[in-house]
Amino acid sequence: MKITALILLCLLAIVGYSQNLEEESEIKPIPIQNESDSLNIDSTNISVFDSSLVNVDTLSSDSIQGDSLAGPKSDIKTTVFYSARDSIVTNILNKKAFLYGDAKVTYGDIELEADEIAINWDLNELEANYTLDSAGEKVGKPVFKEGSQTFEADKIRYNFKTKKGIVSGVITQQGEGFVHGERVKVNEKNESFIDDALYTTCNLPDPHFRIRARKIKMIPEKRVITGPFNLVINDVPTPIGFAFGMFPIPKEKASGVIIPKYGESSDRGFFLRDGGYYWALGDYMGLKFLGEIYTNGSWGTQFNNTYKKRYGFDGNLNFRFNKRIQGEDDEETILEDFWLKWRHSPVQKGTYGGRFSADVSLGSQNYNQRNSFNIDELQTATFNSNIAYSKAIRNTPFSFNSSLRQSQNTRTGVMDVTLPDFNLSMARQSPFKKVRALRKIEPLNKFNISYNGTFRNQLNNRLINTTSVQGIDVRNGVNEREGTDSDVFKANGDNFDLMWERKRIGARHTIPISTSMKVMKYFNLNPGFNYTERWYFQKLEYFDDFRNEGIRVDTLDGFFRTGEWSTSTGVTTRLYGTFFFPKFKGLEAIRHTMIPNISGSYRPDFSKTSNAYQEVVINDTTGETQNLSVFQNGIFGVPAAGESASLNFSLTNILEAKVKKKKDTTDSFDKVKLLENLNVSSGYNFAAEEFGFSNFNVSARTKIGPFDINSNATVDPYVYRLDSIVDDVVYQTKRERYFWNEGFKLSQQVRRYSVNISTKFNPKSFKGGAKPEEESLEDEIPLEELTIQEQEELRYIEENPDLYVDFTIPWNLGLRYTLNRSKNGFEEAVVTQNLQFNGDVKLTNKWKVGFRSALDITKGEFSTTSISIYRDLHCWQMSLNWIPFPSRRASFTFDINVKASILQDMKLSKRNSWYDR
């Protein structure tokens, strides 16, 4: 009978494939005339049900493929694929199929998986159930997927035609939330109506907390709506709740109100902070408006604009303004501060694509001290901003870059603004390289020339001392306002005219020419010539004014140019020395590499030949004259005064060891750098009238175990003579005598010395593993492959690292020690020592403690110190951040909050800050 049935199925398959398979076709079923109306076929392959055909699974034994059975006209609109691990039972007459063991059915964008699935073609229904194993545990609970919606349930019934279903014992995820329900009805709009429902962001079967409601309506990818609900924590009902609830499911950015924080400030009263509105402008831009208000009248506002275009650019613009009122009515003080931050990052497209970028951070001098809670911002004195556009000019060797730059020191109040800086450069060109007849002439083959031109306008808020020019007394100075180099004025709109008067504007053109050649096989000779031309639009003109015991200076406007040139040549090579150690186990050899470099340069005295200088009589009695620069304070300087014929030299040393690999039976070795770099350099100017030797500069870099060590020293070759000490002021004279002829008193000759030792410890550093930062770079996922929501979360984590802790690393410890010493001859040495340390310790799998501080060893004082305690509560997290000292910044913050951003306002916060004292 089974053989007869198989033959009949083959005939039916031929008939089925020869007919028109469209939905309108009328194919009548051919009943099986035998004792059994069903077939039981073991299979693990995929079967197909297409419109009006019931496809029987491929036979596992006979390998009959493509079997199909003609059936009645069906309401199913597309192909149904189904499979099972154990077996598939097909009842042809009743038009039913039963799938057992890891059963799976796919219908369009609908997927259903369960341990048992029943299909009824007449009713267009699916029914899925779990089974029980030998221990009585549920196995293969049904999982239903449609689009972005997923159900996990005890039992699922679904109708293909009406697209309605009934689900029992369901758990479904919507965005960051999970919905539990005893009975769920799903309509044709894919909306779910749930009885005895729970809503939570905890992914455990028995969640730590949930919002319990009698009924919940869920609109996929939009929102979850509840009736009266209350909060349940660890199975304990609480009176916290409301008459209704609505929780968004943000597939895309959504606009909405941001709930403010509340509290009390000791000097400004009760407050509401960080409340406002978020306005979503599609997938590419979002605007956030935040504000804060205090009962004493103080207030603040914040505007934040985040934008992104995939494969194009992304950025963030943030502007903050605070008005703070201090004191009583009679002695009331109003303090107004602002801060602007803008970051714009492009995605480079091709070699010739223009690139616009921005990194701006500027504001009021005291903004961070009065308003910021960020330790880095509090400790940073200088903030830099840059807005730039660059582009390579197609089919030419030229490229240009235009930028606006600003540098601000919040401690001194000094601000420099470059408005604008334009640069045009030509890539190095080798004009003779393509000439076949000259290819074998090495100096011509390697001959190259390039060009670099820069136009710059710079403003600042410094008052320049106008009573002298290069040490000469001046009457009728360059500027009506007088001051010293350290005097500054406020950089604001009211003083812009004063800043404009202080402008430094000009252009510089540089043309370097060079070549190289081999000399005596082992030496490289590198001759070069450099020409520099400067353009200015103002110059000074000097006049004798001995009646007033000085000189008179006038300022002339116009176009002025001046040039200078210099020539140089250098010889370099490499020397190797290898020392073998046959008697030392594991150490094969040590190699010493020396890289000597000798170069000579010549530059004439342009103070006598250049139009950048004017000879001025400074004493009418003696007739003494001096060449003064007519481009005083020029932005690109002036041609150098004084002839220079220098011979410069440097020697670089590298030490490497050849060490046998550990746990290696083969004769393989590793290279270990014992001394990464030891460099000594200096020079001698043969044209100098005195003190021809330059300072000796010594630098060294190495690594000993986990410690990175860097050191630098500057040694003055000339000795000093102590003349006198008056009121702790040292008067001394530099002598034309070398210190190596005076007994090597290096304590007086070392002008500057610094050493920097840093390290970072964690468990991997003891196992020889890669550094955490290296691993993170290798495992980094490209930003454009993340969803918009994931990108926003990643950016939030980067901007708020203190809110997130990596519990996978047991502990981290970072140390950095710096020593700086400066001394000029017999003067008292100025020494500073600083020890910075930071790290964190995982006490348990859920507890972690972090710290960060720095110790000024010289003063015996700690800088701003912070201690953080974190507790991972699975779906919740707890954090305590404490700044114990210095006392003027002492503060703490304590937060318990839900991790999921969808319930970010479900939290408990306590804050006590120096800002509110």
Tell me the whole-structure pTM to 2 decimals: 0.59
Residue 684 confidence class, pLDDT cut points 50, 70, 90: very high
Supply the DSSP symbol for 462. B
Write the pLDDT tens digit of every residue in 134-160. Answer: 888 888 888 878 766 677 788 888 887
pLDDT at 617: 78
- Dihedrals phi, psi of 517, to nearest 5 degrees: -160, 160
75 against 851, higher pLDDT: 851
Write the pLDDT tens digit of every residue in 732-784. Answer: 888 888 888 877 777 778 889 999 999 988 777 666 544 433 333 334 445 44
Does the structure show a pLDDT above 70 at 8? no
* The token pair that represents 214 in the structure block: 């009698």
Out of 1-10, 331-340, 906-915, which region has the weakest mean confidence (pLDDT)? 1-10
Does the structure show a pLDDT above 90 at 7? no
Supply angle C-alpha 369, 371, 374, rounded to 5: 80
* The token pair that represents 118 in the structure block: 């029943």
pLDDT cut 90: percent of the chain above it = 16
3-state secondary structure of 767: helix
DSSP codes, 178-232 = EEEEEEEEE-TT--EEEEEEEEES--SSS-SEEEEEEEEEEETTTEEEESSEEEE
Q: How large is the average pLDDT for residues 244-262?
A: 71
HEC-encoded secondary structure of 271-286: EEEEEEEEEECCCCEE
pLDDT at 334: 84
Q: How large is the average pLDDT for residues 546-554?
A: 70
* The token pair that represents 813 in the structure block: 């410890």
pLDDT at 593: 93
Burial class (CB in 10 A: 0-12, 13-18, 19+), 185: middle
Sign of the torsion angle spanned by Cα atoms 798, 802, 806, 812: positive
Write the pLDDT tens digit of every residue in 780-817. Answer: 445 444 554 555 555 555 555 545 555 566 888 889 99
Out of 55-64, 106-115, 183-192, 520-529, which region has the weakest mean confidence (pLDDT)? 55-64
pLDDT cut 70: percent of the chain above it = 73
pLDDT at 72: 43
Residue 107 confidence class, pLDDT cut points 50, 70, 90: confident
Does the structure show a pLDDT above 60 at 466? no
Strand ranges (E), 762-890: 811-822, 830-842, 847-856, 861-862, 866-873, 876-883
Average pLDDT, the chain: 75
146 against 700, higher pLDDT: 700
Rg, the chain, Cα only: 40
Supply the DSSP symbol for 362. E
Cα–Cα distances (Å) from 780 to 760, 805, 810, in that order, read 21, 18, 21
Contact predicate 94/37, CB 8 Å: yes
Report the alpha-carbon distance of residue 698 to residue 713 in Å, rounded.
5
Report the alpha-carbon distance of residue 72 to residue 30 in Å, rounded.
10
Out of 214-228, 355-369, 650-664, which region has the weakest mean confidence (pLDDT)? 214-228
Does the structure show a pLDDT above 70 at 538? yes
Out of 198-212, 718-732, 900-914, which region has the weakest mean confidence (pLDDT)? 900-914
Strands 192-200 and 177-186: antiparallel
Report the alpha-carbon distance of residue 112 to residue 107 in Å, rounded.
9
Does the structure show a pLDDT above 90 at 463? no
pLDDT at 570: 92
